[in-house]
Amino acid sequence: MARNTGPVCRLCRREGEKLFLKGARCEGQKCALVRKNYIPGAHGGKRSFKKLSEYAKQLREKQKAKRIFGIAEKQFHIYYERAEKMDDITGDALLKLLEERLDNVLYRAGFAESRAMARQLASHGLVKLNGRKVTVPSITLKVGDKFEVVEKSKSAKMFEPLKKKKDTSPKWLEVDLPNLKAEVTKLPGKDDIDSSIESQLIVEFYSK
């Protein structure tokens, strides 16, 4: 999958809001959006955040969702097509499908500080799903799926701070942070999806 390899803070500045692509490191005055609250680029300071047309709002919301979940355009559109065929409201179904991705679930469980870090955990083979090592971050999890960090990596220094964190995972996950284990006990509902994303705007964008 194509991925952004440039400075991610530019993505937040382009959308005009914090997307927390670096996790907790996005907090505070060091955040690029706080220091440079205008669109990136040579003429960004002159353009600033002007009033957008309806199409531009729809486009920006789609781009924001892609960047939050770290998904390329082609894959994002595939998720949209899957959501269209589901019985749920298309916008809600789309966000639920994104929530059920392995990399996002690892992030929600507290195993990683950001979705980018969670994606690396999965792609580097540091995670087991139902007892088997996996390397595909986009796997869709279902009720009853159990996942954990592979045994030989649990003692790594990178995981020590995570083991001591307070469990802030959503209700649809049962998490054992000290042992870096978790289980999907139910699928995310409407109240569990990212409320910062206006999914209806994304539906309108693809419906044109």
Query: What was the pLDDT predicted at 184?
Result: 97
Cα distance between residue 138 and residue 115, in whole Å: 12
Residue ranges and CATH numbers for the domains of the chain are 1-50 (1.10.1050.10), 54-99+194-208 (1.10.1050.10), 101-187 (3.10.290.10)
- Model confidence at 45: pLDDT above 80: no
pTM of the model: 0.79
- Model confidence at 14: pLDDT above 50: yes
Q: Phi, psi at residue 52, to the nearest 5°?
A: -100, 150
Query: What was the pLDDT predicted at 55?
Result: 92
Percent of the chain's residues with pLDDT above 70: 76
Query: What was the pLDDT predicted at 26?
Result: 47
